[in-house]
Amino acid sequence: MKNIILLLSAIAFLFVPMQLGAHEKATVKVSTIQQKGNMVAITVLSSQPFKVGGNVYVLHIGGTTFAHGKQSRVNGKGSLVYYLQKSQFDALNEGAKMFLTYGKAGGSSEDNLTEMSASATFPCWALGNFSKQVTK
C-alpha cells in the first residue's frame, strides 16, 4: 500500500509543474486615463480575465496604492477601473513606477515589486511609468 501511495505521489509531483507551466502570465497594461469632473479613472486591461477571489487587485503608483477598482470582463479579457479624486491624481509623481498586484504584496517597495513582476508565476505586473497625460 505504501508503494502505491509513493508511486501516485511521484506521478502527481511530475505532472503538477507541467500543468502550472501551461498557463502563461497575462499581459497587463494601462489602457486609458480619463477625467470626468473631480474624478479620474485609470483603466487597466489584461489579456486574460482577472481572478475573482479573496484578494483584490492593488494598483501601485510610486508609494501610493489604490485597492478599490471596478473589475469586469470584456470580450474574454480582464478590465479594472480605479477611480481617484482629482486631488489624489494631482498628488502623484509624474514618471513614478506603476505596478499591479493581486493582493497586498508584502514588502511592496519598488525593488521588491520589480523583482516580483519579473516572475513568470507571481501575480505582479510592471505597468511602466506613470503619466498625468489624460486620454480623450
Residue 16: which pLDDT band, with cuts at 50, 70 and 90?
very low
The domain limits of the chain are: 25-129
Instruction: Give the cell for residue 90.
Output: 494631482
- Average pLDDT, rounded, for the chain: 82
The Cα–Cα gap between 119 and 8 comes to 30
Is pLDDT at 5 greater than 80 in this prediction? no
Residue 109: which pLDDT band, with cuts at 50, 70 and 90?
confident
Q: How high is the pLDDT of residue 121?
A: 84
Instruction: Give the cell for residue 108.
Output: 511592496
Is pLDDT at 12 greater than 60 in this prediction? no
The Cα–Cα gap between 61 and 92 comes to 7
For the beta sheet containing 57-61, the strands, ordered from the edge strand earlier in sequence to the opposite edge, are 64-66, 57-61, 97-102, 124-129
Separation in Å, CA 127 to CA 15, 23, 28 = 32, 20, 7
Q: How high is the pLDDT of residue 136?
A: 60
The CATH code of the domain at 25-129 is 2.60.40
Is pLDDT at 9 greater than 50 in this prediction? no
What is the mean pLDDT of the segment spanning 7-25? Answer: 47
Q: How high is the pLDDT of residue 75?
A: 87
Query: Each residue of 54-96: pLDDT tens digit?
Result: 889 999 999 999 998 899 998 889 999 999 999 999 999 999 9
Q: How high is the pLDDT of residue 51?
A: 87
pTM value > 0.85: no
Residue 41: which pLDDT band, with cuts at 50, 70 and 90?
very high
